Structure 1
Amino acid sequence: MTRSAPTILVTGATGTVGREVAQRIPARYRVRLLTRRPEAVGRTADHIEVVAGEYADPESLDRALHGVDRALLVTADVGGDHDTRFLHAARSAGVRHIVKLSGASVSDPGADDLITRWQRDCERQLCASGMAWTLLRPRSFMSNTLAWAPTISSEGRVRALYGDSVNACVDPRDIADVAVRALTEVGHEGEAHVLTGPNPISAVQQTKLLAELLGQQLTFEELAEDEVRAQYRRRHPGPLADALLRSAERQRAGAKSRVENTVLRVTGHPPRSYAQWAADHLTAFVQAA
């Protein structure tokens, strides 16, 4: 690594995608990880620096962005101002290129829930920032099914809403592979990459695959809408709970079934299947008890 090597900032460095991105950026780049919990990062390679900070702390953003050429932006404050704060600090610091993790629903004209509107607004802010940009628009993460692990290990059961509706969900490792390409190659500026797995799959089909891999019988239990609404509202503010339900309804309507070839086109390898993802993470379902 030379002194002139570009510096890449990865936000959300302990999250599902950010952690994978940090592991994949070649050692010829300087990598800086921004996180509220540096202790959660663990051991890092020599070319990786970990800095403490958060979007609500302008001074920590300024420190993290000093000397940065490119950045991966991951935010989760639905309806909040984290994107606004970060983009202001990045522009002031002279960052040239932002790769933004968004969502595939922004391009669905029938999607108008709170989360999708927020994602669209965040994208608009980035595109109007004056910095080069790349948008990553993944479908649901395959890793979301880790939420089933406790009931799989304790009851041999999966509970979910709309069990037969399909989603072209994507392996977070494929999202990370595309993100690294966008951060380290030319030609991704001004692009919106929609990221999917190789085929649409339902919760019932995922349950069957997990049963085969685990070598045990699993039962799928369809949850009622009212039951799921109550669960969501115990965990989230009402508007966010309603947005999650509307998103599930769009999936039931078939809006999340389209498969794209973006992962293959950008990385040169086909997207990983749910069976591949599950096989690689099987111990998480066994150890949840």
Structure 2
Amino acid sequence: MTEPAAVLVIGATGTTGSRVVRGLVARGHRVRAASRSGALVPGAQGVRFDWYEHATHAPALDGTDRVYLVPPPACADPAGTMLPFLELARASGVRRAVLLSSSAIPAGGPAVGRVHRALPELFEEWAALRPSWFMQNFTGDHAHARSIREEGTIRTATGGGRVAFVDADDIADVAVHALTDARVPGTDLVVTGPAALGYDEVATILSEVGGRTVTHRHLTYEELRDRLALAMPVEFAAVLAGLDGDIAAGAEDRTTDTVLRVTGRRPRDFRTHVERAAAGAGTRRGPGPARPPRPGA
């Protein structure tokens, strides 16, 4: 008997990818979990994959008909790397592609927006997930979370702008449905949490739940860009700092019903996320907000 085709999950050890793998495995799907290390993932077949090593691409695609796409990290223009892979995927028999993009980047926009625009030309079955900024940015391994743990400070150039932060669990649940439901979305899905919050409000909730004062420090665009450029290419730092400017202008001050409509349940709110993260950290770490397992956006 021929073995059913598998779902290839790129970024399988990352914030959303690891959750997508778990969700697919729990539903009985075969999964090829792709990462640069090719690490074993419970219930899935670990395969080595690196966006910048073309020799890893065809082997990762072997026996797959659907793919979850996480763009290469800290890349200001991922289309040059991703589009040749997607052409190879189509030629290899992949029929459905689900892209992790960002609520801040529309189809045809900068960075991953070019990949989004190309999806319907490459695949009859496709979806582009455009999640808002991750709640895990404040409780995981993101620069915000590290700054909170080490200094009790969040630094942004968002001013009084508001964001409907979303839990990565909710993003992954939407992704699993987009990958496996009989009816493919065939569109972009803006995925948000249930309420838009300013960073001052975020700091207040983190302080109340963690029992330790967290403050929001307001930076200018230039201050944030230069600070980020210490840890990444200046071009990508400029992109991220510019996104903070968009937040300040109100670009992310919205909520959607995507999680409820696609999964049948309501998205998790920020306070509940922080409480869950703090409870999970209780036996592993000292004081301060928790640290479970990405993009940022």
Same fold flag (TM > 0.5): yes
Q: Which of residues 101, 110, 133 in structure 1 aligns to 2:126?
A: 133
Equivalent residue, structure 2, for 1:216: 212
* 2:122 is aligned with 1:124: no
Q: Please give the per-residue CA displacement for 1:154-203, whole angstroms capped at 9, x wherever unaligned.
A: 44333333352111121111110000001111212412111011011111
Give the TM-score normalised by the residue count of structure 1.
0.87
Matches within 5 A, 1:135-214: 135-146=128-139, 147-214=143-210
* 2:93 is aligned with 1:97: no
* 2:232 is aligned with 1:239: no
Equivalent residue, structure 1, for 2:67: 71
Q: Please give the per-residue CA displacement for 1:50-102, whole angstroms capped at 9, x wherever unaligned.
A: 01122233332111111101110111333132211320221121111111111
Distance 1:129 1:154, change over 3 A: closer
Q: Secondary structure at the match of 1:220?
A: strand
Q: Secondary structure at the match of 1:228?
A: helix
Distance in 2 (CA, whole Å) between partners of 1:182 and 1:287 is: 30
Contact 1:5 1:28 in 2 (8 A): no
Q: Structure 1 stretches of 5 or more lacking a match?
A: none
Q: Secondary structure at the match of 1:38?
A: coil
Give the TM-score normalised by the residue count of structure 2.
0.85
Match for 2:266: what amino acid? P
* Percent of aligned positions that are identical: 32
Equivalent residue, structure 1, for 2:84: 85
Distance in 2 (CA, whole Å) between partners of 1:242 and 1:55 is: 23
Question: Which moved further from structure 2: 207-216 or 56-65?
Answer: 56-65
Which has a greater percent of helix? 1
Question: Which moved further from structure 2: 139-148 or 6-15?
Answer: 139-148
Question: Which moved further from structure 2: 55-64 or 85-94?
Answer: 55-64
Distance in 2 (CA, whole Å) between partners of 1:152 and 1:58 is: 38
Distance 1:56 1:107, change over 3 A: closer
Q: Secondary structure at the match of 2:104?
A: helix
Computed over aligned residues only, the root mean square deviation of the Cα atoms, in angstroms, reads: 2.3
Q: Secondary structure at the match of 1:278?
A: helix
Q: Between Structure 1 and Structure 2, how many residues are aligned? A: 277
Distance 1:79 1:156, change over 3 A: closer
Q: Which of residues 52, 58, 77 in structure 1 aligns to 2:54?
A: 58
Q: Secondary structure at the match of 2:253?
A: coil
**Structure 1 residue 240 displacement after superposition:** 2.0
Contact 1:56 1:85 in 2 (8 A): no
Q: Secondary structure at the match of 2:116?
A: helix
Distance 1:60 1:150, change over 3 A: closer
* 2:31 is aligned with 1:20: no
Distance 1:194 1:71, change over 3 A: same
Equivalent residue, structure 1, for 2:255: 259
Distance 1:9 1:259, change over 3 A: same
Distance in 1 (CA, whole Å) between partners of 2:190 and 2:6 is: 26
Q: Please give the per-residue CA displacement for 1:239-258, whole angstroms capped at 9, x wherever unaligned.
A: 32222222111111111111
Distance in 2 (CA, whole Å) between partners of 1:105 and 1:218 is: 26
Contact 2:206 2:289 in 1 (8 A): no
Q: Which consecutive aligned stretches of 4+ in structure 1 deviate over 6 angstroms post-superposition?
A: none
Contact 1:58 1:85 in 2 (8 A): no
Q: Secondary structure at the match of 1:50?
A: strand
Distance in 1 (CA, whole Å) between partners of 2:30 and 2:200 is: 43
